A and B are shown apart, each in its own frame.
Chain A
């Protein structure tokens, strides 16, 4: 079921099992039949840990979504609220409890990922705190997302850290890393770049001191931990990802490992049946490396996906043709035994062919091409100091605001800030076209450093670009030899930093590191003697790269590419607060402006 988690270099299923066990323990604390009331946001992340069957085994009979008003009736002994520690949710819970007249009910709250005094105080104010028998926390810091990928699914981490200066997410990060070390051994080397990275490392070292005297006796699985602040590399998420998985995310949005697609392409046309009613519900698909074909093509540049699919099609067709050659009973048996696998492969091929067709329609459009051209101009440093006519035209056509903001922010980042005149012009156009209330949005982007006036006359982006080779003229999309293939020319800054760290080391790029925000550092954690690894010759080292504030699928693809390179000698496991793309990232920085304003 979650077997794909254990295929990788590090068996992440251990983490999943630990999380499942914790869940069972909590459920058993509440004796008798139960109903769970879900904070809807949590059902996605929980789906990565457990299915309904697990809950059912532990007497969960009903499940509801948390809504204000009265609880739906359910003949159960326990009502358990699974919620994030949010004040507005506490008010809803209070109303639910208040309006429940069953005297024999037992109420419980499970906070995910942490209890919050603020919330408990709110429940107290509302006069319902006493009604709860259990108030507990379910530490779901790092959720295994795939064989080499962990995510906290903490959407607001970047906003909280850089806009609101709230470091709660960093505390959770540090806690999550401690859990990971308890399961996979102390990580001997910690590198980091950025203020948040420094904070997390400090907390980890302090937490370790608190358990002083305790020796972790597990042989370390990870050799190195690299902590990277998202604000060290603001550029990468703004660029349009050009890998298959990246494009699926850019266009349709991948949420908790699922994507919703327009159903038309997936309608099953059976022979003899004329056009059946087209399904109107979006088609929902799970995307992870458990699916063989998807694992093969997800990280390819989209331009190489067509070839991969047709190759696969030929293999599958040939396999089905085999049935004509099957003469003896044994051969037929053999063929039949392979059928389920072949059918799964066929259906997987059908799905991905449909998705590729959908994406192709978009990537071949003029609008997509024009947008990409401007992005690439900015990334190569062309005309970043002037008002860009394409952006102007897009505003005049009232293209989606987020598209405009992505481009303007990108220009700002690639120019180390915009000239005051240019910035003012953009702001004016944006406010006039999309509404003055976006003064707030623009201010947030400035606070986050994505948009800023040029303060010094020196633009250091070109130096960074050249030193780190961020732009490669001859990116090979079909048979890549460099990570720049993931953006068809642009090599993500964050991944270059990772690459250089492995070889030849950061000392070679001191100058550039100083230009990027925040400190860079190295820490060592003592291992008990006897746990020092004796490395076999040719054995790869393992690095855990933690992106504080989000990572894109294209960056992940680039790291996987590095892991697979024969001479890299390094395997990467990726962890992040949240998987993001330019759109979801910018959205998380916008204030909730009520729809009535549009």
Chain B
């Protein structure tokens, strides 16, 4: 949507916020154009040399040639022709220049206290060996490593070994006290991996009651245990644990989440029904109830409509075949669907839009936008009209809307409403400036002319005369107004 220049300036000036403005809008655009032109003119000069561009080569898939993700695809593709080596484009091999980087030691060696990896030293590795001596800090091994030969490790030493990725038997810790010590050391080491390892051991060797009780006073370990159960999808134990901890809302949400993995709609509905009794917070409980009610309805509507569509007797399904099933769609989508296919049904049916509005307490605004969009899509302009018409106590009709009429025009225009429909609503836009800009955009000449007349703006009217067709009814109307002596023009 492009707004006219004047229009846009109004918008800017009316805003409190000057920041990120496009004051120099034209300027900016010109600048981009300038650099575009420059680029294009240079292109001609150099295009024959394009292939020698110093820029990274990019393969057909858009990956830079030589990158890992590119090579994965490439070798996988070439795999069918095993006899052929994949041809790799010539790329400068980045030989590591150690003199420049001044770094010859590997990351893990810094911590593991090991100096060299495998036995297969490449040329560069040999090089780097000497640089280790030069640059690597003398890391002394942590104290614990000197005791590698001992097998009787204390809980603390066991944790340290685990942290270093070494084996250490946990089975020898049999008393509850030892096990808990192990856990506490693991927690104070902050290594999630080690904490989990100890928890797995504890889970295997302790009764649920004891484990749950002890975890309750160890929040960090508890969180890791919950994470572990979630990861391993041990739903049953997890729910038991949360219940034991009194974290009922979490239990409810976790159970509710299960419904996502149920594909069959009837089973899903039944499952949601079983969720209704779960201890949700008051507001979530209402939402889950709505979720269940919605699916229940969708199942009924889907069955009926599918049959009607197959039967071939209901006109609307023939004219506008359904694109997808309504099952598991959000509420507002369902409402739209019902406004489209079941608009005039009596309020008693499940698929009646009014019934849905009531049952789910849909806000007035939401209902209006949805009904408006659905009816406009069908070009049912009478329905659109009726949506906004209300009678006052004298029996006069007038148009009322919970939405701004500007938004109404917007929705109608998106559904390609004809000008005669649009102008009814453009005319109802309260703000005269907004009304004029909308009317100009949608070519509702009458409204523009009348608004200028009401504003007694002779200059604008005169200016607008140039925009309507020569000899048209609009031009005559403007001339009539301009010649009218009764109007006191302000300019």
Contact = CB atoms under 8 A, between A and B. Distances in A.
Interface string B245-272: 0000000010011011101000000000
A485 to B, nearest CB: 9
Interface stretch (A51-59, A222-230, A579-587): A51-59
Contacts of B219: 165
A344 B53 contact: yes
A26 interface: yes
B117 A353 contact: no
B70 interface: yes
Most buried by B among A62, A74, A137: A62
29 contacts: A18-B106, A22-B108, A31-B118, A31-B120, A54-B93, A58-B122, A65-B72, A72-B79, A73-B82, A117-B194, A118-B200, A137-B165, A165-B227, A179-B111, A210-B142, A284-B62, A284-B64, A306-B32, A307-B28, A312-B35, A357-B32, A377-B17, A393-B407, A428-B287, A433-B332, A435-B331, A436-B288, A436-B330, A477-B19
Contacts of B56: 286
Contacts of B192: 166-168, 171
Contacts of B366: 395-396, 429, 432-433
Interface stretch (A212-220, A460-468, A550-558, A561-569): A212-220
Interface stretch (B172-180, B357-365, B475-483): B357-365
A353 B35 contact: yes
A167 B256 CA distance: 26
B62 A283 contact: yes
B312 interface: no
A594 B261 CA distance: 8
Interface in B45-78: 45-47, 49-50, 52-56, 58, 60-64, 66-72, 75-76
Contacts of B19: 376, 475, 477, 488-489
Interface stretch (A38-46, A92-100, A512-520): A38-46
Nearest to B201: A117
B348 to A, nearest CB: 22
A286 B56 CA distance: 9
A590 B239 CA distance: 21
Interface stretch (B95-103, B425-433, B435-443, B456-464): B95-103
Nearest to A392: B365
A24 B22 contact: no
Contacts of A15: 103
Contacts of B96: 17, 20-21
B38 interface: yes
A377 B15 CA distance: 10
Contacts of B71: 52, 55, 63
Contacts of A54: 93-94
A21 B67 contact: no
B328 A25 contact: no
A64 B72 contact: yes
How many residues of B sit at the interface, in one of the four size bands?
35 or more
Interface in A289-336: 301, 303, 306-307, 309-310, 312-314, 316-317, 320
B92 A1 contact: yes
B38 A43 contact: no
Contact of A166 (B82, B223, B256): B223
B379 interface: no
Contact of A596 (B31, B140, B328, B331): B328
Given A56-B88, A182-B110, A313-B39, A24 B122 contact: yes
A171 B31 contact: no
A206 B142 CA distance: 12
Contact of A314 (B38, B226, B332): B38
B137 interface: yes
Interface string B17-34: 101111001011101101
Contact of B137 (A182, A475, A593): A182
B63 A284 contact: yes
